[in-house]
Structure 1
Amino acid sequence: MRTLRVRLAGWLAITICALWLAGCAQPQARPHAEEDAWSGRLALQVEGQASQSFSALFELRGTARSGGLVLLSPLGNQLAQLDWQHGHAQLTTSQETRTSDSLDALLQDVTGTRIPVAALFHWLQGTQATVPGWRADLSGLADGRLIAHRDDPVPQATLRIALTR
């Protein structure tokens, strides 16, 4: 009987410690309610003599003025993280961290071609944005699909996005 009481007291002490530690845990940071966030898959196909493609899982948050983009491999490994605010952008990869005044230039370094980030936020919100050389098809957005084509400058490019949330 004494052994049973000792075991129960030990389990009770472990349970209390576990609950106490769980209460001390910090909740994960979540985007502010006013901050937009999207995730899914993106694929970028650039035509030309040396046709190239880029695809990744992504997590996008914020606005064109202030936000972040995380690009992940199909296995979930982080390929790159871009953060920007107030005209300053930072690219972090496993090899390096670079900063620039141009978010578009850093994103081009990762994907291989320019993507109009400001327009992308409008497109994902279902608003057509005019960007020279680009045309976006928002007809599939209700189903989580967005396609944008670049005709100018050459080489032509196609950006496909499939949203998961």
Structure 2
Amino acid sequence: MPGLFGNIVSPLTGTLRHRWRGWLVLCALWLAGCAQPMPSAPAEENSWNGRIALQIDGQASQSFSAMFELRGTAQAGGLVLLSPFGNRIAQLDWKDGHAQLVSGQDTRTSDSLDTLIQDVTGTRIPVTALFSWLKGTQASATGWQADLTGIADGRLTARRDDPQPTATLRIALTP
């Protein structure tokens, strides 16, 4: 008889184990839902992301658009350009008068950040002024005029009239 009784108890014991495991999992999930999240590190003050578009007018009109992540300052920082699918198109890093551009398998370095930005976008962009504009401060840049009226809503438009061809830079920041 002990063998028969053992067969009856085993399935019951197994069922009870499964119920206890279920209750333990349920309690663990409930406790996890009550837990307070750990405070995250503060966002970098000079950090922006969103969409960037550049239109260059002329005989051979060019346009460029991408998602972007920008950090740092005009003296030291980085810019990552991403496709609409989130694939990295190019990464530009600069510091101490040196800049490096990584695009696909190619890596280029230069003493001129402006030169590498021109290689990526097709025209010169006033980096120092751009950082000021993104902070909502008007800054002068030869040939460029920035419209900061939409910066509180995360919108920036800048237009270059000189030198030709004209160029329009549009930025929409992600909140």
User: Do both proteins adopt the same fold according to a TM-score greater than 0.5, normalized to the shorter chain?
Assistant: yes
Distance in 1, Cα, partners of 2:41 & 2:82 = 19
Give structure 1 stretches of 5+ with no counterpart: 16-29
Aligned to 1:23: none
When residues 31 and 62 of structure 1 are mapped into structure 2, their CA distance, relative to the original with a 3 A threshold, is: farther
Alignment RMSD, CA only? 2.1
Which residue type is aligned with residue 83 of structure 2? S
Which letter maps to 1:49?
Q
Deviation string 1:9-59 (CA, Å, 9 cap, x unpaired) is: xx8xxx9xxxxxxxxxxxxxx987564100000000000000000000000
1:101 CA drift (Å) = 0.7
For 1:26, the equivalent position in structure 2 comes to: none
In the alignment, what sits opposite 2:113? 103
Deviation readout 1:113-165 (Å, 9 max, x if unpaired): 11111110000000101011000000000111000000000000000000003
**TM-score (structure 1 length as normaliser):** 0.81
TM-score between both structures, scaled by the size of structure 2: 0.76
2:160 counterpart of 1:125: no
Q: Which entry has the higher C-alpha Rg, 1 or 2?
A: 2
Taking the TM superposition and a 5 Å limit, the aligned residue runs for 1:1-165 are 1=10, 4=14, 35-165=45-175
Identical residues among aligned pairs (%):
70
Partner-residue secondary structure (3-state), 1:120? helix
